[in-house]
Amino acid sequence: MTKAAVVVFPGSNCDRDCRVAIERSTGAKVEMVWHAETELPQGLDLIVLPGGFSYGDYLRCGAMAAHSPVMAEVRKAADRGVAVAGICNGFQVLCEAHMLPGALLRNASLKYICKPVALEVANGQTRFTAGYQGRREVKMTVGNGEGNFFADQATLERLEGEGQVVFRYVENPNGSVAGIAGIVNDRGNVLGMMPHPDRAFEAELGSSDGAVLFQSVLASA
């Protein structure tokens, strides 16, 4: 049986959503891990940093969570090749922890945005997207106030050139540079994305496209 962990920070509010989404989509065993833990469960195939408002988004979104004790173990696991997915606030944490490049800024509209969005699958060959089997467009949901991805020109050129841009917005709701909605690290095992696959894993939620992401990454374990 595949095994996943969802890290819970003070202020996380999508941790149980992620657990339910992974369990129902894949049948994997999912453990919840409090941010103050100094060890992760053994034999993990996937670690998820969920959405929410870790530490109340004080200082900068994800900045304080990036220094939580458990993050040292998340880094070690990623270095061993374990898949790590940061969703929404989790993406912000990964950027603040320097596990992914770039930064998430205030939305260009300066408003919180929560709605379904169409996404282009910009790279369907990653561990997280291979399950889409060539589909070019999927549907998920965004819910953020700081989802505006930014990186300098040199970083953008590297992301584009190395195929590290995984998802783009069909209609950019946040003002993200180049419409970027999700990226992976250069090794391809760490994903950060602002849209929520955990809110799009069953047809009753408006889309089941998020389930494919979880299925894809755990099928590669």
Q: How far is CA 205 from CA 107, 118, 164, in A?
A: 25, 14, 28
Relative orientation angle of helices 209-219 and 15-26, to the nearest 10 degrees? 70
Extended beta strands in 17-136, E state: 29-34, 46-49, 83-87, 103-105, 113-121
Q: Give backbone dihedrals phi and psi of 99, rounded to 5 degrees, phi first.
A: -90, -15
Contacts for 110 with CB less than 8 Å, ≥ 6 apart = none
Catalytic residue among 14, 18, 95, 196: 196
Locate 68 and state its tokens.
Answer: 């939580």
Q: Is residue 14 annotated as a catalytic residue, yes or no?
A: no
Q: Is residue 88 annotated as a catalytic residue, yes or no?
A: yes
Locate 176 and state its tokens.
Answer: 């993200």
Q: 95, 96, 74: which is closest to 8 by C-alpha?
A: 74
Q: What is the CA radius of gyration of the chain?
A: 15
Catalytic residue among 18, 61, 88, 95: 88
Catalytic amino acids? 88, 196
